Amino acid sequence: MKTIDGKIFLEMLKSGNNNLANHKKEVDALNVFPVPDGDTGTNMSMTFESGVKDAIKVGDSDNISAVAKGLSKGLLMGARGNSGVITSQIFRGFHKAIDGKETIDVNDVAEAFENGARVAYKAIMKPVEGTILTVIREASWYAKHNLEETKDEAIEEYFSKLLDYANESLQRTPDLLPVLKEVGVVDSGGTGLVKILDGMKEALYGRPIEAKEASATIENAAMSVENDEFGYCTEYIIRLNKEYHDFDENRLKNKLAAIGNSLVVVKDEDLVKVHVHTLKPGDALNIAQRYGEFIKLKIENMQEQHTNLGENAPDKKREHKKYGVITVAAGEGVTKVFKDLRADVVISGGQTMNPSTESFLDEIDKLDCDHIFIFPNNSNIVLAANQAATMREDLDIRVVPSKSIQEGLAALSLFNPEGDVEDNYKEMEEEIGNIRSGSITYAIKDTSLNGVEVKQGDYIAMFNKEIVSSQEDKLQAVYDLIDKMAEDEDAEIITVITGEGTNTKEAKQVEEYINTHYDHLDVDMIKGDQPVYSYLIGIE
| Average pLDDT by stretches of 10, the chain with 540 residues | 94 96 90 71 92 90 94 93 93 96 95 96 90 96 79 85 96 92 90 97 96 53 40 78 69 81 73 80 76 74 50 56 94 93 90 84 93 95 94 93 95 95 96 94 83 88 90 95 89 92 92 94 93 92
Residues 6+ apart with CB under 8 A from 307: none
Torsion of Cα atoms, 295 then 301 then 304 then 306, to 10°: 100
Query: Which architecture, in CATH terms, is 222-309?
Result: 2-Layer Sandwich (3.30)
E strands in 251-311: 260-268, 271-278, 292-301
pLDDT at residue 228, rounded to an integer: 43
Task: Classify domain 316-434 by CATH number.
Answer: 3.40.50.510
Cβ–Cβ contacts within 10 Å for residue 32, how many? 18
The residue type of 399 is V
Distant-in-sequence, close-in-space partners of 329: CB < 8 Å, separation ≥ 6? 335, 338, 346, 347, 348, 349, 350, 377, 405, 408, 530
β-pairing verdict for 459-463 and 466-471: antiparallel
Q: pLDDT at position 451, please?
A: 82
Q: Output the CA torsion 102→105→111→114 (10° steps).
A: 100
Domains in the chain: boundaries:
3-212, 222-309, 316-434, 438-539
Rg from Cα positions in the chain: 24
Strand partners, 497: 526, 536
Q: Which long-range contacts (CB under 8 A, 24 or more apart) does 425-434 make?
A: 425/373, 425/398, 425/400, 428/373, 428/400, 429/400, 429/401, 431/407, 432/400, 432/401, 432/402, 432/403, 432/407, 434/410, 434/540
- Under a CB-based contact definition with an 8 Å cutoff, are residues 260 and 280 in contact? yes
Q: pTM of the entire structure? A: 0.76
Cα separation, 61 vs 38, in Å, equals 37
Residue-level pLDDT at 317: 55
Helix (H) or strand (E) holding 348: strand 345-348
Instruction: Please give the backbone phi and psi of residue 280, each rounded to the nearest 5 degrees, phi first.
Output: -130, 70
φ, ψ at 180 (rounded to 5°): -65, -40
Report the top-level CATH class of 3-212.
mainly alpha
- The answer to whether 462 and 447 are in contact (CB under 8 A) is no
